[in-house]
Structure 1
Amino acid sequence: MVGVLEGFATIAVIVAVGWVLADRRVLDDSAQVNLSRLAFYVASPALLLTVMQRTPLDAVLSANLVTSLAAFVLVVAVYVVVARLRWAAGSLGSQLIGSLSAAYVNAGNLGIPIALYVLGDVAWVAPTLLMQLLLITPVYMALFDSDARGERPTLGRSLGRMFRNPITLGAVAGLLIAVFGIHLPRFVAAPIDLLGAMAVPSMLVAFGISLRRGPRPATGRSAGHVWTIVALKTVLMPAIALGIGLALGLRGQALFAVVVTAALPTAQNIFTYAVRYRREVNLARDVIFVSTFASVPVILVIAALFHGFAGV
């Protein structure tokens, strides 16, 4: 339980730093954009390279991976249907941000400490982390690039842009290093580690600036949209993961891990993508903010139920 609170408290402090800096006018809207660009083009690729080369690949190909992927796809499908019925289609970029906000979990800077302190092993979050980095992110980045250029997505264009995107390149480079057992010399690895260490703070400070400079979260005409996505993320997604996990024969700690992972809030990465592609910035910001708070009691309840009834 302590791990859950520690993970959320760490994020809250860094976001608060961004809020205070914006409130004191040390940083402004341009700083938010520049920090997001820094995270997107430099720090995040370096972080993904570092994470991927250190992630135990033998923990990936499992029912955990299948459950995480299926839960993501089903939640995205539900969001698309609900969004088309309630808020019309919108642009492709808007739908991409909305669907990612509903199903892309914070498996990195929040999932890792929670996996360590709540699940007892970081390896439990590895399948979801790799699934998002190697499958979901490259596909979405290619679609974002097509939308930004006003082009209709095609398989050829998507594949071409998929491997020109810095986020995808960082993840793929890290995977290749891990697969082939490449040992980077210290003078190469050290700068990459330092650049990667900037990713999460940059995203969180930019997020804090947005909270101070932008409209109050989850208010006005977009409130219904925000709360619908939060419900999909924090309630429907772990419920789907539970059902799929049971159907695949997961029990005990393995089932507990996929449900807790699915209940994690929306990742801060989505805000970075929204700023980079100028699509639904406030929506992404609001969903991340609300889902982060909403997921705390959800994860605590899940932990209590599994400890009480499943003996985990």
Structure 2
Amino acid sequence: MTAVLQGFAVLGAIIALGALLAHVRLLGEESQQMLAKLAFFVASPALMITVMADADVATLFSLNLAVTSAAVVVSGSTFLLISRLWFKRAVPETVIGTLSSMYVNAGNLGLPIAAYVLGDASLVAPVLLLQLIVLQPLALAVLDRSTAAAGTSRRALTVRTVTNPLLLGALVGLALALTGWEMPMVLAEPVNLIAGMAVPSMLLAYGVSLRVGPRAGRGVGMIEVGTTVFLKLIIQPVSAFLIGWAVGLDEASLFAVVVLAALPAAQNVFVHAVRYNRGVVLARDSIFLSTVLCPVALLVIAGLLT
């Protein structure tokens, strides 16, 4: 559990730095946009390549992946239904809210937690595969189509979807994992250096938004934010436990999928919201609250399952 708290402390320090830089006016709203675009178009695709390329193929396509996918469907579809019937939000905002309720922080927190708490970093690989190859491309495709200007051709929308930099990075990384081919040093080193910018860029942009945007709890209904957090921290891990138990996962695997399902919403969701300028405050507040409350959820899970 110490490793979990350390992971949260690292994230909080960089977010606080972003807020401080915005407070002293070294960074502002334009800087936030620049950092988010840098993460979306450049650094995150490089990170997708490095993460997926290092994943073990046998671990990727395991029963853990099926359980994780089912829990994600439960959480995401529940918010989708509530949003359309109750909140009555437009499609782009519904997509951002749905991601906030099911897209876990697998990179920043999942990797260290899998390594130091679960004892095997590869356990987070199925989550990464699901999010990078399925959930993220699907969400971005819907965002592309729902935010496109009137009259945009079907061909233009298709091209925009298949050339999304995050999708391309994930596919390249998956291809490297499946073939076992390693990039030459002259190519691998620049990719690794650029990938190293992804997480700091996201966190700094998020910190800036906390200072220059509406205060947490303002600008979007707290019932909606509370719904995403409830689904993320309670419904998703409970679903993972029930489904994993039903299909006969061993105790170690069951504990792993439940812990990973209880991780907070990822900063990627905020980057996507900024990129499309939809649901920005909803994503920001959902990430903030789920991150703050996540240690409590993990402590409860550890107490019940260990």
**TM-score grouping bracket, smaller chain normalisation:** over 0.9
Aligned twin of 1:210: 209
Q: Does 1:3 align with 2:3?
A: yes
Pair 1:235–1:145, CA change in 2 (3 A) = same
The AA in structure 2 aligned to 1:75 is: S
Instruction: State whether residues 220 and 281 of structure 2, in contact with CA within 8 Å, keep that contact through their aligned partners in structure 1.
Output: no
Tell me the SS of whatever aligns to 1:109: helix
Pair 1:2–1:128, CA change in 2 (3 A) = same
Pair 1:158–1:119, CA change in 2 (3 A) = farther
Pair 1:159–1:261, CA change in 2 (3 A) = farther
Pair 1:271–1:70, CA change in 2 (3 A) = same
Instruction: State whether residues 49 and 169 of structure 2, in contact with CA within 8 Å, keep that contact through their aligned partners in structure 1.
Output: yes
What is the root-mean-square deviation in Å for CA atoms of aligned residues? 1.8
**1:268-287 maps to which residues of 2 (within 5 A)?**
268-287=267-286
- 1:3 Cα deviation (Å)? 1.2
Q: Does 1:294 align with 2:270?
A: no
The AA in structure 1 aligned to 2:298 is: I
- 1:125 Cα deviation (Å)? 1.0
Partner Cα distance (1:8, 1:62) in 2: 28
Partner Cα distance (2:144, 2:197) in 1: 24
Aligned twin of 1:64: 64
**1:1-312 maps to which residues of 2 (within 5 A)?**
1-88=1-88, 90-150=89-149, 160-219=159-218, 222-307=221-306
- 1:86 Cα deviation (Å)? 2.3
Pair 1:275–1:125, CA change in 2 (3 A) = same
Partner Cα distance (1:306, 1:221) in 2: 36
Partner Cα distance (2:259, 2:69) in 1: 15
- 1:185 Cα deviation (Å)? 1.2
- 1:123 Cα deviation (Å)? 1.2
Partner Cα distance (2:238, 2:156) in 1: 36
- 1:219 Cα deviation (Å)? 3.6
Please give the per-residue CA displacement for 1:253-302, whole angstroms capped at 9, x wherever unaligned: 10000000100000000000000001110000000000001111101111
Pair 1:56–1:9, CA change in 2 (3 A) = same
Instruction: State whether residues 218 and 227 of structure 1, in contact with CA within 8 Å, keep that contact through their aligned partners in structure 2.
Output: no
Pair 1:221–1:134, CA change in 2 (3 A) = closer
Question: Aligned residues: percent identity?
Answer: 46
Partner Cα distance (1:20, 1:161) in 2: 36
The AA in structure 1 aligned to 2:268 is: N
Please give the per-residue CA displacement for 1:194-227, whole angstroms capped at 9, x wherever unaligned: 1000000000000000001111112465111111
Partner Cα distance (1:97, 1:18) in 2: 22
Pair 1:79–1:190, CA change in 2 (3 A) = same
In structure 2, runs of 5+ residues without a counterpart are none
Tell me the SS of whatever aligns to 2:167: helix
* TM-score, normalisation: structure 2: 0.96
- 1:154 Cα deviation (Å)? 11
Tell me the SS of whatever aligns to 2:104: coil
Tell me the SS of whatever aligns to 2:107: coil
- 1:136 Cα deviation (Å)? 1.0
Pair 1:151–1:75, CA change in 2 (3 A) = farther
Instruction: State whether residues 146 and 152 of structure 1, in contact with CA within 8 Å, keep that contact through their aligned partners in structure 2.
Output: no
Pair 1:171–1:280, CA change in 2 (3 A) = same
Please give the per-residue CA displacement for 1:24-58, whole angstroms capped at 9, x wherever unaligned: 00000000000000000000000000111111111
Aligned twin of 1:310: none
Instruction: State whether residues 220 and 282 of structure 2, in contact with CA within 8 Å, keep that contact through their aligned partners in structure 1.
Output: no
With 79-88 and 253-262 compared, the bigger mean Cα shift is at 79-88
